[in-house]
């Protein structure tokens, strides 16, 4: 027999959903059979599975340790990479970290190591119990391209993950980027267009008017400094679509320096840049009554080294 005590990250969900996640290698039919036979009980009583879990509820599974390990997948292995997560802000519910260039935001294959794995490693090294990961995994809510650096937002708790995902989806959080582009930009502007993804070539195409399977996009940019044949821009994503900044700026003849996919090859070779100079620089949170420590506050990261070669931070 093994007992599990429901924590705040498991509370609020249906009992059967919790059991499906805990016993991920057991079939649905088997789980409901064990519930009927009282081999899985809630607070010492027979349960149907539709009960809503509360914090400190007791879940007991009357099976052998070997069987439980088989159905849960056994003890969770945490990769020890030695990667030092660059934490910008942290509380009980959320964490902000700066992603380096070249690191994946999320896995694209089972063998990949991404910011999510680095997050789990950091949290378990700092007291987050491994046993909690069977039914809830903290994770980052936003994505950055592999060669884009900067701020990412993670939910450490269920309520943090849900709220951060919500404000990203409804666009009430403002996200600002720094980039260096070809040419001189002398005024602030908002550009609009329609973006369609070319799945075959993993690129996007920008149109002036709507086309089939396109999304309307809005991108705001403001010049911060100019030098020779380049401009340092602060960009706000009003909408947030794949490759939006890179493709949209390239479409108005201001491609991002170092961008091999949408950029200017001659411009990139002139400065020897092989990765796009695009950095998630700042986030500004909306009013959040339930999260007073971050409500209406902004957080930013310093200019990356590849930016300071061209422009010094003010």
pLDDT, one tens digit per residue, over 156-193 is 999 999 999 999 999 999 999 999 999 999 999 999 99
Sign of the Cα pseudo-torsion (96, 101, 103, 106, in order):
positive
Confidence label for 134 from pLDDT (cuts 50, 70 and 90):
confident
What mean pLDDT do residues 144-150 have?
A: 95
pLDDT, one tens digit per residue, over 231-283 is 999 999 999 898 999 999 999 999 999 999 999 999 999 999 999 999 999 99
* Phi, psi (rounded to 5 degrees) for 68: -60, -45
Q: What is the pTM of this model?
A: 0.86
Residue 206 pLDDT > 90: yes
Confidence label for 64 from pLDDT (cuts 50, 70 and 90):
very high
pLDDT at 92: 93
What mean pLDDT do residues 24-34 have?
A: 94
Residue 129 pLDDT > 90: no
Confidence label for 82 from pLDDT (cuts 50, 70 and 90):
confident
Decide: 114 and 105 in contact? Cβ < 8 Å. Answer: yes
What mean pLDDT do residues 64-77 have?
A: 85
Closest CA to 179 of 307, 273, 266, 275: 307
Closest CA to 78 of 25, 132, 19: 132
Per residue, the 3-state secondary structure of 86-154, as one string, reads EEEEECCCEEEEEECCCCECCCCCCCCCEHHHHHHHHHHHCCCCHHHHHCCCCEECCCCCCCCEEEEEE
pLDDT at 33: 96
Closest CA to 192 of 212, 205, 179, 207: 207
Decide: 198 and 308 in contact? Cβ < 8 Å. Answer: no
How much of the chain, in percent, has pLDDT values that exceed 90? 83
What mean pLDDT do residues 130-146 have?
A: 89
What mean pLDDT do residues 74-97 have?
A: 88
Decide: 244 and 215 in contact? Cβ < 8 Å. Answer: no
- Domains of the chain (ranges; CATH) run 2-72 (3.10.290.10), 86-170 (3.30.2350.10), 174-307 (3.30.2350.10)
Decide: 186 and 247 in contact? Cβ < 8 Å. Answer: no
Please give the sequence-ordered ranges of beta strands (E in DSSP) within 208-268, or none if there are none: 215-227, 230-237
What is each CA distance from 202 to 174, 207, 261, in whole angstroms?
A: 26, 17, 10
Closest CA to 175 of 193, 195, 158, 150: 150
pLDDT at 226: 97
pLDDT at 73: 83
Greater confidence (89 vs 303) lies with 89
pLDDT at 211: 94
Burial 159-198 (b: 16+ CB within 10 A, else e): bbbebbeebbeeeebbbbbbbbbbbebeeeeebebbbbbe
């Amino acid at each position: 027999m093994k007992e599990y005590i429901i924590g705040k990250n498991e509370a609020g969900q249906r009992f059967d959903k919790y059991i499906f996640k805990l016993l991920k290698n057991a079939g649905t039919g088997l789980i409901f059979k064990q519930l009927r036979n009282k081999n899985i009980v809630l607070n010492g009583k027979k349960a149907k599975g539709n009960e809503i879990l509360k914090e400190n509820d007791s879940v007991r599974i009357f099976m052998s340790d070997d069987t439980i390990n088989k159905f849960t997948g056994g003890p969770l292995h945490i990769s020890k990479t030695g990667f030092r997560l660059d934490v910008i802000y942290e509380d009980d519910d959320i964490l902000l970290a700066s992603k380096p260039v070249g690191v994946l935001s999320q896995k694209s294959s089972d063998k990949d190591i991404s910011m999510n794995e680095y997050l789990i490693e950091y949290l378990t090294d700092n007291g987050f119990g491994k046993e909690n990961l069977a039914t809830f995994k903290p994770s980052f809510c936003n994505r950055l391209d592999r060669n884009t650096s900067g701020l990412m937002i993670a939910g450490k708790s269920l309520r943090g993950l849900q709220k951060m995902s919500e404000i990203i989806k409804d666009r009430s959080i403002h996200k600002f980027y720094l980039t260096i582009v070809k040419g001189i930009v002398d005024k602030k502007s908002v550009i609009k267009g329609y973006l369609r993804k070319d799945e075959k070539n993993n690129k996007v195409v920008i149109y002036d008017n709507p086309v089939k399977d396109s999304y309307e996009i809005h991108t705001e940019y403001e010049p911060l400094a100019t030098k020779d044949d380049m401009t340092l821009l602060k960009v706000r994503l009003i909408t947030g679509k794949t490759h939006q900044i890179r493709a949209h700026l390239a479409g108005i003849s201001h491609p991002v320096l170092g961008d091999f996919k949408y950029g200017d090859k001659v411009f990139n070779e002139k400065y020897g840049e092989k990765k796009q100079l695009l950095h998630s620089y700042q986030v500004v949170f909306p009013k959040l009554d339930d999260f007073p420590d971050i409500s209406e506050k902004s957080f930013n990261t310093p200019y990356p080294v590849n930016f300071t070669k061209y422009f010094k931070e003010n």
